[in-house]
Every structure is written in C-alpha cells, then in structure tokens.
Amino acid sequence: MQKFFDRLLELLRRDERFFSDDGTFLRNAVYQAAMNMDEKLLTLLLSEKNIDEKFFSDAAGVKVFDKIKFAWTINNRQFLPDSYTRFANKIGLVDHNDKFISAADNVALVFPYKDCVLEGGQTKDDQKRDEIFYNTTLARDEVDRLLAPKVLVNATRYSAEGAAPADIFSNDNLIIKGNNLLVLASIKKTFAAKVKCIYIDPPFNTGSDSFGYNDRFNHSTWLTFMKNRLELARQLLTNDGSIWISIDDDEGHYLKVLADEIFGRDNFVATVVWEKKYSPQNDATWLSDSHDFILVYAKDKNIWRPNLLPRTEEMNARYKNPDNDPRGVWTSSDFSARNYSPSGDYPITTPSGRIINPPTSRAWITNEKNFLELVADNRIWFGADGNNVPRLKKFLSEVQGGLVCKTIWTADEVGDNQSARREVLALNADFDTPKPERLLERILTLATRAGDLVLDYHVGSGTTAAVAHKMGRRYIGVEQMNYIEALTVERLKKVIDGERGGISEKVGWTGGGSFVYCELAKLNQNFVEVIESATDSATLEALREKIISTGFISHKVDIEQIEPAGFGALTLENQKRFLLELLDKNLLYVNLSDIDDEEFAISDADKKFTRSFYRS
C-alpha cells in the first residue's frame, strides 16, 4: 500500500499547486481540488492506469470519480478506504461517512413513527386493536391538546377508617386510572423532578402475553410507545433519581439503545439479570428462558449512587468473640499475602513459643513493625491455645454497613414468577404477570429511602405500590385497565389492613397508612366503553346519532358522507369499528382548561380536588 501511495505522490508532483517550494506535500490543497472536481487534477489521475482503476469507475461509458475514496487515501496515507486496516488501533461502529459513531453527537436508533406520539388507548381489556398516532410535526396542535393536563374525578381516600371522598390532595399516595401517557403528561405539572425511583414492567411485545395490554406491536410501534412515555418519565425524575425497566429478549436490546438516547448512554448503570424461572421449561422448542432483564439508568450517573443491601443474619452469625474482646464480635482472615514481598518475609513467634514462617512463595500481609503493633492492639489471633498460625481479627463494628449489590439476582434471593403468582393468589386475586414483592423490595432498597417518591405507570397488580407502602415510601401507580379497582385498589386496601403476605414479615409490616384513588375525567372514553359493551345494532345506531350530535368526532370524518343506511348494513363488529374510528381520540378525557365548561358537568368536589392537585 505504501508503494501505491508513493506512486500517487510522484504523479501529483507534476502539479506545482500540490507541493511547496521546500517539497512539503500540500495535503489540503489536493483535498480541496478533489472536492471541487478540479479538471487538471482529474486529468492527471486518469493519466496513470493503476491510479485510474483505484479512483474511477465506468458508468455507461463515462468515467465517474470517487472523490471520497480519493480523500481517504490522501488523509490516510497508508491505507485505502476499502481497507479495514485504516482503522488503526480502534474497533467500533462507523456511520455512512466512515466516522466512528462513538465520536458523534447524533447517534440514534431510527424507526418509523419515531416523530409521532402514540396515544395507545385501550377499548377493553381483551381487545387487540390498532394504535392511534398523532404526528408531532404535522399535527402539533393535536399533540398539545392530547398531552395537556386532565381533570381528575371520583377521588376517594382509603385508610384504616375505610373509604371517604377526597376533595383535597395533600401529597397523598396515588393510584390513578387512565391512559398512562396522558397521566404522565398530567402529573408532570405537579411532580416534575420529584420522583426518586421509577419502576416499570411494560408490555414485552412478545405477541403472546395474555394480560390486557395491547402488546402485539410491531417493533417500531412498540418503540414509539416506549419512547413517548420514557421521555415524560425522565422529566419526573429527581436529579439523583433512577429508573428500572423490566424487559426480556424480544425487545430488550432495542430498548437499551432507545433508553441510551433518552437518558444518555453515560447514565446507563447496569443490566440486572433476574432469574424468573427456577426450574427448566422442558417443553421449550429452543432454550428454556430462565431470566428477564432489568435495565437501570440514573438521571445523572455522576450524582446517583445505589444504597447498600443490608447484611443478613447469616452473615453476622459468622462473627464471634471467643476472647471476650471489648470491641465486640469478630471474625478472622488469612494473615499471609499471595504475592511475595521481602518486607513481609520474617518469622513470627506465637504466644506458645512456636516459630512460624510465611508459606512458601508467600509473605505476611505487612512488615514486622506493623505486625507488632497489631499484636499490641489485640488484633492478631493465634487460636485459643496461642499455638496457631496468626490470623487478622476483623470486627463487625468496623465492616461496611451493607453489601454492594451484584447484577445477578437469583430466585432464592428475590423470588420468581411462581412465588409472585402465589402472593397474588393469597390475596384472592389473579393476575398473569405479577412480580414478586422481594424483587421490588430490593429495587426500592437500592434506589430509595423512607419518604422518597416511587412511580410505576404500568402498575398492574399493584406490587410496586404495595411494597412501597410497606417500606414507608410514597408512591404513584397508574393503570388504564378496568382491573385497577378490583385488583390494585383491593390489594392496597388489604395492605392498609395489615396483610401478612410478601415482604410483610421481613419488614415488620402491621398495617396503616392511606392512599387516594382517582380517575381521569372521561369524555369520548365513555362512548368507547358503551360501544364495547353493546350487544345489538339498535344500541349502536342510537349511539351513532348521539356521537354525531356531540360534535366530539374526528376532524378526518366528513359527517355529510355518513349515510344511516350504509351503517345499518354493517355487521355488529364493523359497526363498532366504525364508531370507534368516528370518535376523536384526542378527546377521550376532559382537559384541565375545560374544567368549568358546563357541557362536561364536572362536580364541585372534583373541581376542588383537581385544582388542589395542580395547585391552581
């Protein structure tokens, strides 16, 4: 390759523009000539066959100059651009310009609909419907209205005294029913930069999950779904906060790249591997998947630090006090070092008079002077009879107050899918994909302290909220599915009553506390629910006229083109589909700005609670 470059230089010497008077090669002058497609330079290059073949290609009998390849050769004098050897001493991904993406500021995971907002509404728990998109570029006003704060209604405070209407919000624990994208956008007004820890267990996009979320997304739709919500979630985190995301292999690696973009790759903390299945799945077609991942990001990794895990009783039981040392219980460690050091090579005389030298090829961990000081401080143990090989005493009172957490979490440590199911069933409830309480206890132990605020906007069966309640953390749980009242709320009521399942015994939980349940005020969402529950065409026909009369229909629909006769000819399912398309999904819930509009009939109690929530 060097010979080729030398020949190229000799050819370029024929043009006096490319060399100075002292013979210095003017690399930049050649580069600029190439970028300008300089006729004299091209003629010169075409005059040498071997060089001609390197930088020119034939297109319909016309010579086409590859100026990028030529520029690479000029700037990287040893290697042509089609030689990977040009990347000396560096391994990594490059972009279309052959620049390392690690050096770029605009590296991103690109996918269709990325510039859109995915409302992701649900019509009923078991329906798998197409998602609704609002393009942030073409319909900015629609997105602004979609993500505007919503009115909160039906606020009820649950405590040991029972349930009572709540007309004032005062930093209560919250369970909110409604579309989680819209809830996140709404609570941002009150809770921006106030959430210490977010944990979510989102739809995994497997196409086979049996719980109610519409999780049969293609990759780009699912990524848009996650992106919209994670961007809002980041705004809610405190500067020293963190987010923990459960995911599996189907989308985990795509999610990692997306989360790198949103939270910053430098703020990635770790990938936790959780053993979700203790036993192998013998009917697995390929490999039995035994684990899920938990992606961990800090809002600012320079600030955030995980707490230590508490020491276990088993670990503390290893500490004894056979010599009644007034400093308390202790354990001992080897006094020899693996690596030999002349300063550590000396004989030690035990209290019994026995002389002991370091093991072969090893040395004592410190020099003789320090050893004698340790003996004087009663920190060397020679055994009860004073005749053993010396060992260094380590007192429990002096060891670190906890353990640094590892990234592999076994089922024995934090539970698995089966133990999670048992916990839910013990509460006379059922949910297909719960997480064990011990798993959430570990996350909240690492990421929070008593009184910190925790958010789970895929709260599901309520494990995060239940664990946060028992551990003395404040929490916000969000769920749009109808089971929130029958499952999540009922579970938390049992927690208040002092239920003894999950981590209750471990943390000494005996009951108490309170939470507030409330809902986003429904607008078109009411029509959605009636449509889904309808069993005859007559009901849908009456509903069609009512929907049109309200004016809350999609701007994409031309009312004059809607013919009653055509509607009546549709099947029941197609009538439902038609009415759902007719509705303006941007008006599923009532915006805060419309709280006093008589058309929406918001009660005085709901107005009072909503205004206290937004402090408006």
Q: Which residues of the chain fall below pLDDT 70?
A: 1-2, 75-108, 111-113, 119-141, 205-218, 551, 555-565, 616
Residues 301 and 325 in one domain: no
- Decide if 560 is inside a domain: yes
In what order do the strands lie in the sheet containing 195-200?
Answer: 162-165, 152-159, 515-520, 174-177, 474-479, 453-456, 195-200, 237-247, 291-298, 268-275, 408-409
According to DSSP, the residues that pair with 310 across neighbouring strands are: 402
Residues 433 and 391 in one domain: no
CA Rg value for the chain: 34
- Decide if 604 is inside a domain: no
Distance of CA 411 to the CA centre of its chain: 21
Instruction: Say what the pLDDT of residue 95 is.
Output: 66
Q: pTM of whole model > 0.75?
A: no
Instruction: Say what the pLDDT of residue 434 is.
Output: 86
Q: What is the DSSP letter of 301?
A: T
Domain end among 339, 372, 400: 400
Instruction: Say what the pLDDT of residue 218 is.
Output: 65
Instruction: Say what the pLDDT of residue 60 is.
Output: 83
Instruction: Say what the pLDDT of residue 106 is.
Output: 56
Residues 237 and 303 in one domain: yes
CB 405 within 8 A of CB 446: yes
- Decide if 134 is inside a domain: no
Output the domain CATH number for residue 433. Answer: 3.40.50.150
Residues 215 and 269 in one domain: yes
What's the rounded Cα separation, in Å, for the pair 409 and 416? 10
What's the rounded Cα separation, in Å, for the pair 389 and 349? 10
According to DSSP, the residues that pair with 354 across neighbouring strands are: none
Residues 87 and 215 in one domain: no
What's the rounded Cα separation, in Å, for the pair 295 and 256? 7
Residues 44 and 94 in one domain: yes
- Decide if 192 is inside a domain: yes
Number of domain units in the chain: 4
What's the rounded Cα separation, in Å, for the pair 262 and 245? 13
- Dihedral of the CA atoms 82, 88, 90, 96 (nearest 10)? -20
Classify 298 as helix, strand or coil.
Answer: strand
Instruction: Say what the pLDDT of residue 84 is.
Output: 47
What's the rounded Cα separation, in Å, for the pair 129 and 124? 9
Q: Which structural domain, as residue segments, surrounds residue 578? A: 524-587
- Decide if 141 is inside a domain: no
Instruction: Say what the pLDDT of residue 57 is.
Output: 86
Domain end among 50, 70, 103: 103
Residues 304 and 192 in one domain: yes
- Decide if 165 is inside a domain: no
Residues 187 and 274 in one domain: yes
CB 200 within 8 A of CB 246: yes
Domain end among 103, 134, 157: 103
- Decide if 268 is inside a domain: yes
Instruction: Say what the pLDDT of residue 81 is.
Output: 45
Residues 411 and 474 in one domain: yes
Tokens, residue 397: 């009172």
Residues 227 and 346 in one domain: no
- Decide if 183 is inside a domain: yes
Residues 354 and 326 in one domain: yes
Residues 329 and 264 in one domain: no
CA distances from residue 299 to 240, 241, 268, 424, 457 in whole angstroms, order as listed = 6, 6, 9, 32, 17
The CB density around residue 144, as the number of other CB atoms within 10 Å, is 12
